[in-house]
Amino acid sequence: MIGVDETFLTLVFYPESDPPSDPKTHKPVTRLNERIEFLVDSWEAARETIIVPTPVITEFLYLAGQFASDYLAELENNSVFKAADFDKLAAVELAALHNKYAPTKSKRRSRTKGTNETWAKINFDRQIVAICKTKSVTVIYSDDEGLTIFAERNGIDVIHSWDLPEPPSDPQMTLEEVLTREENTRATAEGGPTESGS
């Protein structure tokens, strides 16, 4: 199961937005619109269900401003995306996550230790991760650093916009095939084994 946060939802529904910077090159992600389009086409071809936690929808619609109703209608009419509520199960999961990192009231002040983010932002990210965990999400698409750290710490992989492959020259190739090809190319360049063992 796949999840998305607001940063990725914005890229999907508002491709004209400025591309984020790749932290490795410190330059804007190239061909971002094409990468996103290839990703969404791959989701649709594989009949994936993309979990969109309701806190993500809140943030997305807030940033959409006067166009919020239009984007909400588009989101609801796209069968790939499925809203996931912060329900009782997610609340229990979130409480467990809070206790995991701040198990006693005496440690409440340590909740933001090691980060410049506010407690509200941290709690928001944790709500998203808690919802995703209750929906058996294994990967979240996000460019948010705080969410990335927390999701990976709790067993959910994160894919960023700068990780997305560029569309292949062969239109029949799937996203999985492109990712496998890129992984093998990197392994070969690093002197490691490829999938075929060569």
**Which neighbouring-strand residues pair with 81?**
50
Q: How does strand 2-4 pair with strand 50-53?
A: parallel
Interval 31-60 mean pLDDT: 92
Q: How does strand 21-22 pair with strand 157-159?
A: unpaired
pLDDT for 82:
95
- Tell me what the pLDDT averaged over the chain comes to: 85
- CA distance to 20, 60, 133, 134, 192, per residue, from 128 (Å): 21, 13, 9, 10, 36
Q: Name which residue leads in pLDDT, 87 or 100.
A: 87
Checking if the pLDDT of 20 tops 60, the result is yes
Q: Where residue 101 falls among pLDDT bands split at 50, 70, 90?
A: confident
Q: Name which residue leads in pLDDT, 30 or 170.
A: 30
Q: What are phi and psi of 4, to 5 degrees?
A: -135, 155
pLDDT for 2:
96
Interval 153-178 mean pLDDT: 83
- CA distance to 73, 96, 171, 177, per residue, from 50 (Å): 16, 24, 23, 20
Q: Name which residue leads in pLDDT, 113 or 121.
A: 121
Q: How far apart are CA 32 and CA 179, in angstroms?
A: 16
Of 7-16, 61-70, 131-140, highest mean pLDDT:
131-140
Interval 102-114 mean pLDDT: 54
Of 7-11, 118-122, 186-190, highest mean pLDDT:
7-11
CATH 3.40.50 fits 2-85+136-174, yes or no: yes
Domain boundaries, the chain: 2-85+136-174
Checking if the pLDDT of 73 tops 90, the result is yes
pTM over 0.75: yes
pLDDT for 154:
94
Checking if the pLDDT of 130 tops 90, the result is yes
